[in-house]
Homo-oligomer: A and B are copies of this chain.
Amino acid sequence: MNSRRSFIQKVALTAASIPLLRFQSLAAPPASDEPVLRVALMGLGGYANRVADAMKSCKKAKLTGAISGTPAKLTDWQQRFGIPEKNCYNYQTFDQIKNNPDIDVVYITTPNALHHSQVLRVAAAGKHVICEKPMAINAKEGQEMVDACKKAGVHLLVGYRMHFEPKTLEVIGMRNSGEFGKIMFFQGQCGFRIGDPTQWRLNKELAGGGSMMDIGIYAINGARYMVGEEPIWVTAQEVKTDPVKFKPGVDETIQFQFGFPSGAVASCLSTYNMNYLDRFYLNGEKGFAELQPSTGYGPIRGRTNKGELTAPHVTHQTIQMEEMADIILRGKQPLIPVNGEEGVKDLKIIDAIYAAVKSGRKEPLKLV
């Protein structure tokens, strides 16, 4: 473990901050002698199924395990994805994963409020962790998760699929090349009308909040990686039109605004009560970029002042897992960080947004 730990520490130390990052090439096929990342999925709901299906196309990552509280789901997954029974666990037994040489990393796709304790348990078992976003329900929890994984010498990555999306990276590459000039403004509209009112995403105890935790975080991500700076203040305004569906602590719609050190500003919308949104817009002195749709499962579409974006669509979860294999196994530095520290920054912003809603005032942010 010692050499791995020192390697990981080196990765953490050299991880470039967003403004300095270079444009990366898409994942190249692995050399035949390179190891494949062996993944166990924890929490076998709809999103885990999407990830598992997407991983069928992966060359660098492979689904080898599953963790669920529902025995029938484990049986089903064994059949559908060829997972051996010995690699299946439930929430009482999964600490034993530390003795399983077939699993390198556990990808947690459970409800938000469970991430903290589950990440700590996986880290204690000595396995790497990929935690679906939001990484936790507040920055304090997130930092504890980062600290625990660092102490255990394991990678902690956050399931930020858009951070690997080709058209998104095409825009960031253009920005880094100066094609838009000085960046002035970002606008991110993220939301959808959520269905079933009994789902965990509308339960404060499990979700830790409402639309902001689930979909608003994409606008936060977008503001940060599109502008290429860290915001220094945030203001936010909440409205709730359906207090029956959206209980106290579960935000329906929040508008929020950022200011950046350069003077650039951002205007964002997070909502569980509107369709026909999903747009990123980046404005610079010399040009603009528009992604619309910007965060759906794709294909993402977009244009700039130079014309249509041309990067090809790839299933988001496929390329995410390919890239995460390179990060975990080969120390690759992604264009946009997806590590726990990055997740904590987003949680600090979410904490500040909720604080700004309550205070009605501009809340300062210190992310660097």
Closest to A180 in B: B276
* Cβ–Cβ contact A265 & B239, under 8 A: yes
Contacts of A310 in B (CB 8 A): none
Instruction: Tell me, in angstroms, the Cα distance from A344 to B237 when the chains sit together.
Output: 26
Task: List A211-268 residues whose CB lies under 8 Å from chain B.
Answer: 235, 237, 239-241, 253, 255, 257, 259, 262-263, 265, 267
* Cβ–Cβ contact B263 & A255, under 8 A: no
- Picked from B237, B273, B276, B361, the residue with its CB within 8 Å of the CB of A257 is B237
Within the complex, the shortest CB–CB distance from A276 to chain B, in Å, comes to 4
Is A185 among interface residues, defined by CB-CB distance under 8 A?
yes
Is A112 among interface residues, defined by CB-CB distance under 8 A?
no
Is A360 among interface residues, defined by CB-CB distance under 8 A?
yes
Most chain B CB within 10 A, of A262, A267, A273, A276, is at A276
* Cβ–Cβ contact B267 & A239, under 8 A: no
- Picked from B187, B241, B362, the residue with its CB within 8 Å of the CB of A262 is B241
Contacts of A305 in B (CB 8 A): 276
Contacts of A285 in B (CB 8 A): 193, 274-275
Contacts of A164 in B (CB 8 A): none
Instruction: Tell me, in angstroms, the Cα distance from A279 to B281 when the chains sit together.
Output: 11
Instruction: Write the A317-354 contact mask toward B (1 if CB under 8 angstroms, else 0).
Output: 00000000000000000000000000000000000000
Contacts of A275 in B (CB 8 A): 283, 285
Contacts of A239 in B (CB 8 A): 259, 263, 265
* Cβ–Cβ contact A265 & B255, under 8 A: yes
* Cβ–Cβ contact B259 & A184, under 8 A: no
Is A269 among interface residues, defined by CB-CB distance under 8 A?
yes
Q: What is the interface size of chain A, counting residues whose CB is below 8 A from a CB of the partner?
A: 35
Besides A185-B274, A239-B259, A274-B283, 20 more A-B contacts (Cβ < 8 Å) are: A184-B241, A184-B271, A184-B273, A185-B253, A187-B187, A187-B267, A189-B281, A235-B360, A237-B259, A237-B265, A240-B263, A241-B263, A253-B265, A255-B257, A255-B265, A255-B267, A265-B269, A276-B305, A277-B283, A360-B362
Contacts of A89 in B (CB 8 A): none
Is A77 among interface residues, defined by CB-CB distance under 8 A?
no
Closest to A240 in B: B263
Q: A241-B263, A255-B257 are in contact. Are A283 and B276 (CB under 8 A)?
A: yes
Is A107 among interface residues, defined by CB-CB distance under 8 A?
no
Is A288 among interface residues, defined by CB-CB distance under 8 A?
yes
28 A-B interface contacts by CB (under 8 A): A184-B253, A185-B271, A185-B274, A187-B267, A187-B269, A189-B281, A193-B285, A235-B360, A237-B362, A239-B259, A239-B263, A239-B265, A241-B262, A253-B265, A255-B257, A255-B267, A265-B269, A267-B267, A267-B269, A274-B283, A274-B285, A275-B283, A275-B285, A276-B305, A277-B283, A279-B281, A360-B362, A361-B361
Is A364 among interface residues, defined by CB-CB distance under 8 A?
no
Contacts of A19 in B (CB 8 A): none
Instruction: Tell me, in angstroms, the Cα distance from A171 to B315 when the chains sit together.
Output: 36
Is A293 among interface residues, defined by CB-CB distance under 8 A?
no
